[in-house]
Structure 1
Amino acid sequence: MNSTLINLTGSPASALNATYDREVDLLVVGAGAAGMGAALVAAIEGLEVLLCEASTQVGGTAATSAGTVWIPGNHQSRMAGYDDTVDAAREYLRALIGSNSRDDLRHAYLEHAPQVIDYLRQNSKVEFVPCGMHPDYQDLPGAAAMGRALAPKAFDGRTLGKAFARVRAPISEFLVLGGMMAGKEDLPRLIGRFRSLPNFLYSASLFLRYAADRIMGYSRGTRLLMGNALVARLFASLRDREVPILFETRLVDLLKEDGAVVGVALQTRERIERVRARHGVILATGGIAHDNAMRQAYLPSRVPTHSLACPSNQGDGLRLAQGAGGAIGDAPASSGGFWTPASVTRMRGKHWGGVFPHLSLDRAKPGLIAVNAAGRRFVNEAASYHDFVLAMFASNLQAPTVPAFLICEQRFVTRYGLGLVYPGVKASDLTKHEAEGYLFRASTLSELAEKIKVSASGLIQTVERYNVHAHKGEDPEFHKGSTTLNRFNGDPSCKPNPCLAPIEHGPFCAMAVWPAEIACSTGLLTDKHARVLDPRGRPVPGLYACGNDMSSIMDGTYPGPGTTLGPALVFSYLAVQHALKMRHTGTHERASKADPSGSRPTMSGMDSLENLKAHPNEAS
């Protein structure tokens, strides 16, 4: 996997096209879930594939995600007794999105998704298990409460040996004791470890496993869950098939002949290399993510500062694909991203550090509201993380709502937790979070309002109005607790509404939450084969996009858990299958009109290769 290796084909260099340093069947850019998925399918199908990754690790944004995939009609859930159909999911998407020009992509996704999951299980280490109860995010015709969400099966990172260090770690806020992963099903047992012998033994086994990992020299725990398990399984499968991966290798240009993309220019640690790709180039570089110009162009005005995307995702794929003739889709209703409210954690040294995504563990619980600077509620707090942030954007047009503030009693925090403050915390332990500016606490609502700089009268009136109805289990203003998703994430012991309880007794607490994107929805326009399209809707020959480089088939909506990773895996598969078809038919697509430069390879995004060699820093 050394990026200085010149010839991966085994042929002498003189046998290659003199214009190129190497030649492969398929070149994949980006080693996240989509890129590794594409490279894996290519290897399974017998294609000679090369995977390059800009960072030193695999996984990208997927490594820090929940790892769930949304796969309607999957066989794993059916075998577990959960009833779901593709037709019902099609009805749900039609109710959610309507009908438009991307119906054929959604049809392709629904048609192929279950078989792709089975294909990966049969041909690799990639395996998913049913999540059971995990509702779709909207109560609409065709929605399902269970059966559509699949989670990666846990993976033992020790089987990777020293290569385990190549797997990007979860965000530190999701690690227990500084390095141990814990899933949603682990948390009740860990929190209640002293309440029963089974809980104690279960927790002890996790702690002992983690201690053994650290003693053996691992930088973190090797019991991998969620997105970390998914990317580790993909990585292990690539290693089994000896697929070469070039780390610290960034895409700097797409090379074209006769209007078709036939290769790439790569900036490795030592030099620029040109690679010919006989059957296509697949872009999976992570979307607009951390490219400032694209964030300004495609995200809301007053562009959100915080992002959960992998820092190495710099928009390379989209920028260069545009230079090669590809088109970026219009920003959808969600303003370019898939969103979550996130609290900003303060790390050692008093520097602002990472972000903690408030996905499902606290907002739906009874006794919590969210307010803007006017002290007014603006959303059903138990809505999906994506819809919560859309409501932040809408409210921000009327009153400052970035950040918004989660308001609750202190006893809510000690019972349910809040953000990085875990359930079961002692009231005395909240002091350190106050000192860090992460949590605000006060004896009265007016004092709390002063601390967080929101309208005291507005907050007091809002809480009083909320309490009147919360005592009855009702929320006529925002209907918290009215949907299947709301109730699933609430507290079933709270009657009559698992999501509602009054906020009456101090001390009171507040926490600021900001919009942070977990993925991009704006991306390159593609067809159902994941071929990149030009502004007139014609395929750019030889160029594919998947993952966050591909414009979301959901048109800015967020149907359910796994809305991004499901399509990432499915369209990476479909891209390879189309490239494979071109190989079997012995054809190579060309543009309808030849490139005016003739058959000589042309650089799409830079003036020339000589310019890159003269200014290597510009290419990195």
Structure 2
Amino acid sequence: MQVLKNGLNVLQGGLQDGSEFDLVVIGAGGAGLSAAVFAAIDGAKVLVVERTEFVGGTTAWSAGTTWVPGTHHSATVNPADTLAEAEKYLNHAVGVQAPAALREAFLKNGAEAVAKIEAQSSMKYRPYPKHPDYISDLPGSTLGGRALEPVPFDGRLLGDLFPLLRPPIPEFTVLGGMMVDRTDINHLLAMTKSWAALKHSVRIVLRHLGDRLSHARGTRLVMGNALVARLLHSLSQQADATLALKTSVDALERDEAGRVVAVRLSSATGNARVLAKKGVVLASGGFNRDPALRAQKLPGIPAEWCPAAPGHTGEALVLARGLGAVEGQGAQSPAFWAPVSLRKRADGSTAAFPHFVMDRAKPRMITVNQAGERFVNESTSYHLFALGMQAAQQAVPAYLVADAKALRQYGMGMVRPGGKGLTPFLADGYLTEGASLEALANKLGISAEGLAQSVAQNNAFAQSGVDTQFQRGVTAYQQNIGDAAAGGRNPNLGEMSEGPYYAVKLYPGDIGAAQGLQTNEHAQVLNAQGQAIEGLYAVGNDMNSIMGGVYPAPGITIGPGLVFAYLAVQKALANPR
């Protein structure tokens, strides 16, 4: 059945066999929706196919950061930055691990893509004044301007499309579904110390309480939910866009000349062959939830450690390989990573909570292996941290350890700051408490001697301000995610001396695919001979990362996803068919 929802054709059932569209987009995550919006803006008839009941994919669960150097936003916070500096940075960070031509296309077209989608849709970004590149000691890195974040969005504007938006991870919300970003968190933590913080906090809480009178969750959307909502709203404002939910792609079809011209789709209500006159864009999210591909590429990493959204089963990639498509090679890693902590929910599902910036880099915290020894710089990027876990001995699981003051001040994973409400976390084993370091080590089953020595070393480093073991807190990125207000010599170091002591187990979680289909600078999928498979495009995590499995900055999946969606649509709509 086809229903018009807030201006958008939403299919709640099968498509009519023989339906024709200019462009068919497989996947309704950030990259797929971006491609659909760009195409619709240019007058194309667009079909978006999504195998789950929600739009947004992992983008909806993310911070929504979009890394695109050289935009008009960059100049407002970092006017000295240039594309040449960004290119220098990427050349040092990525090097030969991905084709330079794709980085060049990304940098050359990024500002134009951002300007177009902002000018002709509901998509709106803002630069965060200080949001450093992750490998900030490399030449060409910056402290801000390249990372954009979506402006918060009023979900009520979606009307009856709002329930189609993938809800945020419950553990990332407060008060029963209120989303908060880092600005909100800072205000909430300071509401007893600042009148401005109190006003901000009261305003968003009252808004949320009003929302709950008529909605299942808050409608003030931030981060990735705001980004996806803006794209969905944009699509609903276009003349000829259709969204097919709970629909899978079963086949890609070519004509006699070898051009992809149709897709075969299936849903609970039947099957349909749909024509794609200008082409097909694959944006299904990558391989991470395909059991066979996962076992091949990520051996020893259970799927329950993956904090990404469901839906990216790799089926589209298998179909593309059947047409001769090949995967990119030579990357640092086939996936992007973050340390995660795990907890069973009341409904039996497992929450995999990514530890991005809120705890592990803060003073009075260290991470140790099963010998009680530090093995990584706790303040490095989440990607390098999780790769370090996999490279070290006895570090899966690892243990994030904090003293009582750090727990109160920063929280630990799913445990909120403040030090209250610890009982359920202690009862189910998510959080472990010890009156002393020895008691904590014994409960964890790790070396008490090793842990005591690691804490003693940390305390000595905190006094001097210099971590001679792993150089914690030496770069601008590391310092930015520490706590300069803590008063120490180093914003990432603090003496651990106040008991009781606490620990949370960490596991390496894959947050997205870095290895995908090899493409050219137009996002056209390539075969083994390096030739484009006409009519077939790949963007987002279906496209081999232009970063070569390196994670040089925040938003380096969403940013290229946007830009190559723009380039794919330009190429596809130029097709004379």
TM-score, scaled to structure 1: 0.88
Counterpart Cα distance in 2 of 1:101 and 1:338: 15
- Backbone CA RMSD of aligned residues: 1.6
Counterpart Cα distance in 1 of 2:170 and 2:14: 35
**Deviation by residue 1:156-188 (Cα, 9 ceiling, x = unmatched):** 000111210010011001111120011101112
Counterpart Cα distance in 2 of 1:278 and 1:470: 63
Counterpart residue number, 2:569: 576
**Deviation by residue 1:172-225 (Cα, 9 ceiling, x = unmatched):** 01111120011101112212323344333322211111111111x211000000
TM-score, scaled to structure 2: 0.95
8 A Cα contact 1:132 1:149, kept in partner: no
Structure 2 unaligned blocks of 5 or more = 1-9
Counterpart residue number, 1:173: 171
Counterpart residue number, 1:109: 106
Counterpart residue number, 1:2: 11
Counterpart Cα distance in 2 of 1:522 and 1:156: 35
8 A Cα contact 1:371 1:405, kept in partner: yes
Moved more, 510-519 or 92-101: 92-101
8 A Cα contact 2:458 2:494, kept in partner: no
Structure 1 unaligned blocks of 5 or more = 8-19, 587-620
Write out aligned runs for 1:177-196 (5 A). 177-196=175-194
- Structure 1 residue 304 displacement after superposition: 5.8
Counterpart residue number, 2:461: 469
Counterpart residue number, 1:205: 203
Q: Does 1:408 align with 2:402?
A: yes
Counterpart Cα distance in 2 of 1:508 and 1:348: 27
Counterpart Cα distance in 2 of 1:377 and 1:100: 29
- Structure 1 residue 5 displacement after superposition: 7.0
Give the number of aligned pairs: 564
Counterpart Cα distance in 2 of 1:275 and 1:162: 27
Counterpart Cα distance in 2 of 1:286 and 1:101: 19
**Deviation by residue 1:318-374 (Cα, 9 ceiling, x = unmatched):** 11111111112236222x11111111133237x463121110111111111111111
- Structure whose alpha-carbon radius of gyration is higher: 1
Q: Does 1:133 align with 2:150?
A: no
Counterpart residue number, 1:596: none
User: What letter matches 2:363 in structure 1?
Assistant: P
Write out aligned runs for 1:429-468 (5 A). 429-468=421-460
Moved more, 222-231 or 69-78: 69-78
SS in structure 2 at match of 1:574: helix
Counterpart residue number, 2:286: 287
SS in structure 1 at match of 2:401: strand
- Structure 1 residue 425 displacement after superposition: 2.7
User: What letter matches 2:504 in structure 1?
Assistant: M
- Structure 1 residue 537 displacement after superposition: 1.4
- Structure 1 residue 504 displacement after superposition: 2.8
Change (3 A) 1:157 1:459: same
User: What letter matches 1:447 in structure 2?
Assistant: A
Moved more, 469-478 or 227-236: 469-478
User: What letter matches 2:480 in structure 1?
Assistant: F
Counterpart residue number, 2:352: 355
8 A Cα contact 1:289 1:519, kept in partner: yes
Counterpart Cα distance in 2 of 1:240 and 1:522: 34
Counterpart residue number, 2:45: 48
**Deviation by residue 1:540-575 (Cα, 9 ceiling, x = unmatched):** 111110011011000010010001000111111101
User: What letter matches 1:400 in structure 2?
Assistant: Q
Counterpart Cα distance in 2 of 1:581 and 1:352: 46
Write out aligned runs for 1:266-277 (5 A). 266-277=265-276
Write out aligned runs for 1:557-596 (5 A). 557-583=550-576
Counterpart residue number, 1:479: 471
Counterpart residue number, 2:341: 343
User: What letter matches 2:269 in structure 1?
Assistant: E
Counterpart Cα distance in 2 of 1:302 and 1:433: 24
Change (3 A) 1:106 1:359: same
Counterpart residue number, 1:222: 219
8 A Cα contact 1:481 1:497, kept in partner: yes
User: What letter matches 2:18 in structure 1?
Assistant: D
Counterpart residue number, 1:296: 295
User: What letter matches 2:397 in structure 1?
Assistant: P
Counterpart residue number, 2:34: 37
- Structure 1 residue 422 displacement after superposition: 1.7
SS in structure 2 at match of 1:209: helix
Counterpart residue number, 2:483: 491
Aligned with residue 95 of structure 1, among 92, 95, 98: 92
Counterpart Cα distance in 1 of 2:79 and 2:509: 33
- Structure 1 residue 57 displacement after superposition: 1.3
Moved more, 195-204 or 519-528: 195-204
Aligned with residue 521 of structure 2, among 521, 528, 531: 528
User: What letter matches 1:319 in structure 2?
Assistant: V
Q: Does 1:394 align with 2:386?
A: no
8 A Cα contact 1:344 1:352, kept in partner: no
Counterpart Cα distance in 1 of 2:96 and 2:516: 20
Write out aligned runs for 1:238-317 (5 A). 238-242=235-239, 243-258=241-256, 259-303=258-302, 305-317=304-316
**Deviation by residue 1:237-293 (Cα, 9 ceiling, x = unmatched):** 111114111111111111122222111000022111001111111100110121110
**Deviation by residue 1:64-111 (Cα, 9 ceiling, x = unmatched):** 000001111111121345431111010001111224661100100011
- Structure 1 residue 485 displacement after superposition: 0.7
Moved more, 34-43 or 294-303: 294-303
Counterpart residue number, 1:378: 375
Counterpart Cα distance in 1 of 2:15 and 2:244: 11
User: What letter matches 1:386 in structure 2?
Assistant: H
Counterpart residue number, 2:152: 154
8 A Cα contact 1:71 1:113, kept in partner: yes
8 A Cα contact 1:525 1:533, kept in partner: yes
8 A Cα contact 2:87 2:140, kept in partner: yes
SS in structure 2 at match of 1:516: strand
**Deviation by residue 1:412-434 (Cα, 9 ceiling, x = unmatched):** 101121111222234xx323321
User: What letter matches 2:318 in structure 1?
Assistant: R
Counterpart residue number, 1:15: none
Counterpart residue number, 1:237: 234
Change (3 A) 1:302 1:290: closer
User: What letter matches 2:556 in structure 1?
Assistant: T
- Structure 1 residue 464 displacement after superposition: 2.0
8 A Cα contact 1:82 1:132, kept in partner: no
Change (3 A) 1:227 1:142: same
8 A Cα contact 1:288 1:314, kept in partner: yes
Counterpart Cα distance in 2 of 1:84 and 1:299: 37
Counterpart Cα distance in 1 of 2:92 and 2:330: 21
- Structure 1 residue 300 displacement after superposition: 4.1
- Structure 1 residue 2 displacement after superposition: 2.4
